């Protein structure tokens, strides 16, 4: 009984988000989709920082070093909406997609 209620409490204190990787991010990570389990108050910045620590390379270039926001060379979408700010609080079930913008002309 104790184990079951403890497991429920842990689930309430965590959020599971899905990270979809495209372009060079998929190549560097070696996978297309990652599931992250986070604290309920985690932000997009926390996920991006964790990916940069784990994979390095192109993941280190997602954030603009001057502004701390998502740089112009990266497309990050949260639940289908493009985002630039990294202080967005994540919720259980959120989907983050990381790619490069497609230009035209």
| Four-residue CA torsion sign, 61, 63, 68, 73 | positive
E-strand stretches of 49-89: 75-78, 81-82
Domain of residue 62 covers: 14-99
Task: For residue 23, give both structure tokens.
Answer: 């372009």
| Residues 69-86 pLDDT 10s | 999 999 999 999 999 999
The answer to whether the CB of 83 falls within 8 A of the CB of 44 is yes
- Whether 54 is in a domain gets the answer yes
Q: Please give the Cα distance from 60 to 92 (Å, whole number).
A: 25
Q: Is 58 among the domain residues?
A: yes
The pLDDT tens digits of the residues spanning 3-39 come to 555 555 445 578 899 999 999 999 999 999 999 898 8
Identify the CATH number of the domain in which residue 92 sits.
Answer: 3.10.20.30
What's the whole-number mean pLDDT along residues 49-74? Answer: 92
In percent, the amount of the chain with pLDDT more than 70 equals: 86
Domain count across the chain: 1
Q: Indicate whether 76 belongs to any domain.
A: yes
pLDDT at 2 over 70: no
pTM, rounded to two decimals = 0.84
* Distance, CA of 88 to CA of 31 (rounded, Å): 25
């Amino acid at each position: 009984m104790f184990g079951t209620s403890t497991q429920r409490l842990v689930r309430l204190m965590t959020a599971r988000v899905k990270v979809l990787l495209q372009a060079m991010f998929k190549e560097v990570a070696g996978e297309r989709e990652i599931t992250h389990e986070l604290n309920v108050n985690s932000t997009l910045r926390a996920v991006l920082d964790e990916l940069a620590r784990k994979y390095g390379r192109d993941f280190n270039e997602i954030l603009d070093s001057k502004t701390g926001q998502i740089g112009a060379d990266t497309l990050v979408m949260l639940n289908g909406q493009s985002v630039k700010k990294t202080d967005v609080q994540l919720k259980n079930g959120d989907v983050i997609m990381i790619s490069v913008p497609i230009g035209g002309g």
